[in-house]
Chain A
Amino acid sequence: MMLWNRTRKVVTWWVVTFVTGDDWTVAAAVGAGLLATWGLVRAGVPAWWLLPLVMLGATVSSLYRTVLRERG
Chain B
Amino acid sequence: MNTPVLISTFLAASIEVIEMVAIVVAVGVTRQWRGALAGTLAGLVVLAVLVAALGTALQQVPLSPMRVVVGALLLTFGLQWVRKGVLSVSRYGWAEGIGERQVEEGAGSGFDWTGFLLAFRGVSLEGLEVAVIVVAFGAGDHAIGSAAIGAAGSVLLVGALGAASYRFVARIPRRALQLFVGALLTTFGTFWANEGLGADWPGRDLALLWLGALYVAAALVLVRVVSYWRRGTPRRVRAQQPLTEGGFR
**At the interface, yes or no: B197 with Cβ under 8 Å from chain A?**
yes
**At the interface, yes or no: A11 with Cβ under 8 Å from chain B?**
no
Q: Looking at the assembled complex, report how far the CB atom of B125 sits from the nearest CB atom of chain A, in whole angstroms.
A: 10
Most chain-A CB neighbours within 10 Å: which of B72, B194, B200, B201? B194
**At the interface, yes or no: A7 with Cβ under 8 Å from chain B?**
no
Q: Is the CB of B232 within 8 A of A59?
A: no
Q: Looking at the assembled complex, report how far the CB atom of A31 sits from the nearest CB atom of chain B, in whole angstroms.
A: 7
**At the interface, yes or no: A4 with Cβ under 8 Å from chain B?**
no
List CB contacts (< 8 Å) of B202-217 with chain A: 202, 207, 211, 214-215
Q: Is the CB of B246 within 8 A of A22?
A: yes
- Rounded to whole angstroms, the CA-CA distance of A41 and B201 in the bound complex is 12
B83's contact among A20, A46, A50, A59, by CB below 8 Å, is which?
A59
List CB contacts (< 8 Å) of A1-59 with chain B: 13, 16-23, 26-27, 30-31, 34, 37-38, 40-41, 46-48, 50-52, 55-56, 58-59
B72's contact among A13, A31, A52, A62, by CB below 8 Å, is which?
A31
Q: Mark B42-78, 1 if CB is under 8 A from A, else 0.
A: 0000000000000000000000000010011101110
CB contacts (< 8 Å) of A21 on chain B: these are 76-77, 79-80, 83, 246-247
Q: Mark B156-200, 1 if CB is under 8 A from A, else 0.
A: 000000000000000000000000000000100010011001111
For the residues of A in contact with B, the DSSP-based class is helix
Determine the residue in chain B with the shortest Cβ distance to A42. B198
If A18-B73, A63-B87, A70-B238 touch, does A58 touch B193 (CB 8 Å cutoff)? no
- Rounded to whole angstroms, the CA-CA distance of A16 and B244 in the bound complex is 13
Count of A residues near B, CB < 8 Å? 38
Q: Is the CB of A67 within 8 A of B229?
A: yes
A17's contact among B226, B238, B247, by CB below 8 Å, is which?
B247
CB contacts (< 8 Å) of A47 on chain B: these are 194, 197, 199
Q: Is the CB of B194 within 8 A of A37?
A: yes
26 contacts between A and B (CB under 8 A): A16-B246, A18-B73, A18-B129, A19-B76, A20-B76, A21-B77, A21-B246, A22-B244, A23-B245, A23-B246, A26-B76, A26-B83, A30-B76, A34-B72, A38-B197, A48-B202, A52-B211, A52-B215, A55-B79, A59-B79, A60-B225, A62-B83, A63-B222, A66-B83, A70-B238, A72-B237
Interface residues, chain B, with chain A CB atoms under 8 Å away: 68, 71-73, 75-77, 79-80, 82-84, 86-87, 129, 132, 186, 190, 193-194, 197-202, 207, 211, 214-215, 218, 222, 225-226, 229-230, 232-233, 237-238, 241, 244-248
Interface residues, chain A, with chain B CB atoms under 8 Å away: 13, 16-23, 26-27, 30-31, 34, 37-38, 40-41, 46-48, 50-52, 55-56, 58-60, 62-64, 66-67, 69-72
